Structure 1
């Protein structure tokens, strides 16, 4: 039987990428921005980091969850060889291209901003996420196909039974709490190119697949209990803010993260699980926008940060510039130039890209 399409997952991917852009823009206005390789504004806006800290514990893990869900959809009608081949085209090629061309480009802009000599550095930058996803696909695919062949088995029945209870998602949280206790990350939200980010991402990717494997049961659970998960997340964030100055022990931040994630799943499933032309367009654009956004953000820093305007206005201008700039790059270059499309994770278009070949975003 054909599985129902989850428009809420498409919407969640789009919203999460949008929040990622805002998060990265907020880093520019923090006094420690240079320490994580970002251009830094001369004027800081440290209070902006409070809501960003709330976002930070779940913004990356939820993307790994969604990526695992995408593999479930992709496996419905593909052999493992076909799926690996598609992942090479859709993930590995953009990842390698990004290392050689995209990340070095925003480093050039960084060097120009600070008056440094221009030097070429091939590196992953923000595209580390794609490298992790490709590794997870290769490593977990044999397990996923075993599960697929045994859909009527006891493991699935037990998993469905567990996920039918509100405690089910909290059992998943135990694995993330254990990861934090074993790996002991110095900063929980430092995911990029760390073992903590790798293992946390692997757990989220695996459980993302497993949630879709359980069928509609999990969506009924998160829909019914979403406010409980969100309340627990808020309580844990308040505890982190009041008693730990935003950096609580890792196991508490892991528990907070999972509650936010399942609360957001429930909200999106209730309110965003419907098709629209805007969602269809944004679903295709989200991946290329993720790849190009740091270049656009740094261009905006070149022109906006020197302006003699209040810091909050600089932030607003940089948000507008980044979103509009990413849209322009996607709409007028990436989408329409046929040889650029596969370098940014899109399929080749017909007639040299003038007519777009629609992607199925849930397969990504």
Structure 2
């Protein structure tokens, strides 16, 4: 069932980014939105947060797992120098550009909305994720290349054997529990620009690589036991949702988080590992959309929140506005203006642009 291109992993990346946009829009309708720098609706929709509490313990870790998997496939075609150059172009350049030119935009919209003095403030904002990923590449590439050059060694055989059992992939929860015990985060889902976010991302990135490295055993296991993982995660979420702190703590939450992610990998491998024109388009668009979405989201909120509408209609309106204008900006600006492409993680290929022009003649 394996293919040279793992379409299921591409789909999971697209889905995770899509959920990230909806999650950020839901924050606008929470009473505490301004405390983390979001424009806040005067009419709260606190009920929206109930499903978000299910998402927020695995949506970011999933992206780190997928990024680690992506590095494995990138290493198959590149030596360490080529990999570092490619990742610098694709991650570091958009990260630095985003700090200087993209993240300040939504802060300006925030200032304008609340009639504050306008000021230029370079900051990472939501792009902290890219900075973390680049650091992981630098730190873990030597280890990953060592493993790659010893793919027939005992370590891979042991890992493959462990991953062939249902408990095998779930056993990595122990490492995430250690992270909780050492870092002691205030909230499990507080990832952005925290040591908890850095180390949980580091572990997810490492094990994402290791899952793919282990071979077919991992994918066969998560495919076979996917509903077991989803069922376990559902039970643990139900316990956490009840608010019984003595039963549901961050150590248990790590198991829930990993179980959701393993279930998603199993479902994806079983049902989504197939090419499609839609996936081909979305997998190219999702990175630039992620980079610009906060500015578009804030712009949509500033226009729609003052309207005399039910808050649920405002939520739907901001969601539609964000997705629509993100893709319009991608399709008609970022994708087509050659000089902008590398700043948004797109390949800078004069050849492809020339070929398109020749086809139109």
The answer, yes or no, to whether TM exceeds 0.5 is yes
Aligned-residue offset at 1:228? 0.5
Normalised to the residue count of structure 2, the TM-score between the two structures is: 0.96
Partner of 2:194: 194
Distance, in Å, in 2 between the alignment partners of 1:28 and 1:78 is 42
Partner of 1:362: none
Partner of 2:359: none
Aligned-residue offset at 1:178? 1.4
Regions of 4+ moved over 4 Å: 351-356
Aligned-residue offset at 1:355? 5.8
Partner of 2:4: 4
Q: Does residue 109 of structure 1 match 2:109?
A: yes
Distance, in Å, in 1 between the alignment partners of 2:329 and 2:77 is 33
Aligned-residue offset at 1:249? 2.0
Distance, in Å, in 2 between the alignment partners of 1:243 and 1:44 is 22
Partner of 1:296: 296
Deviation string for 1:167-222 (max 9, x for gaps)? 01111111111111211100110000000000000000000000110112111111
Aligned-residue offset at 1:3? 6.2
Alpha-carbon contact 1:9-1:66 (below 8 Å) kept: yes
Q: Does residue 315 of structure 1 match 2:315?
A: yes
After superposition, the Cα gap between the structure-2 partners of 1:255 and 1:119, relative to the gap in structure 1 and judged at 3 Å, is: same
Deviation string for 1:72-97 (max 9, x for gaps)? 00000211000000111000000000
After superposition, the Cα gap between the structure-2 partners of 1:268 and 1:3, relative to the gap in structure 1 and judged at 3 Å, is: closer
Partner of 1:229: 229
Secondary structure at the aligned position of 2:339 is classed as coil
Partner of 1:34: 34
Deviation string for 1:102-128 (max 9, x for gaps)? 000110001011011100111000000
Partner of 2:25: 25
Q: Does residue 146 of structure 1 match 2:146?
A: yes
Distance, in Å, in 1 between the alignment partners of 2:273 and 2:244 is 37
1:151-230 map, 5 Å: 151-230=151-230
Alpha-carbon contact 1:10-1:279 (below 8 Å) kept: yes
Aligned-residue offset at 1:350? 2.5
Partner of 1:135: 135
Partner of 1:45: 45
Aligned-residue offset at 1:349? 3.1
Distance, in Å, in 2 between the alignment partners of 1:151 and 1:352 is 36
Secondary structure at the aligned position of 2:58 is classed as helix
Aligned-residue offset at 1:302? 1.1
Structure 1: tracts of 5 or more residues without a match:
357-364
Secondary structure at the aligned position of 1:78 is classed as coil
Alpha-carbon contact 1:31-1:40 (below 8 Å) kept: yes
Distance, in Å, in 1 between the alignment partners of 2:129 and 2:250 is 21
Secondary structure at the aligned position of 1:339 is classed as helix
Partner of 2:325: 325
Distance, in Å, in 2 between the alignment partners of 1:291 and 1:355 is 27
Aligned-residue offset at 1:158? 0.4
Distance, in Å, in 1 between the alignment partners of 2:244 and 2:34 is 24
RMSD of the alignment, in Å?
1.6
Secondary structure at the aligned position of 2:43 is classed as coil
Structure 2: tracts of 5 or more residues without a match:
357-361
Secondary structure at the aligned position of 1:340 is classed as helix
Distance, in Å, in 2 between the alignment partners of 1:78 and 1:3 is 19
Secondary structure at the aligned position of 1:316 is classed as helix
Secondary structure at the aligned position of 2:191 is classed as coil
Normalised to the residue count of structure 1, the TM-score between the two structures is: 0.95
Aligned-residue offset at 1:5? 2.0
Distance, in Å, in 2 between the alignment partners of 1:353 and 1:176 is 45
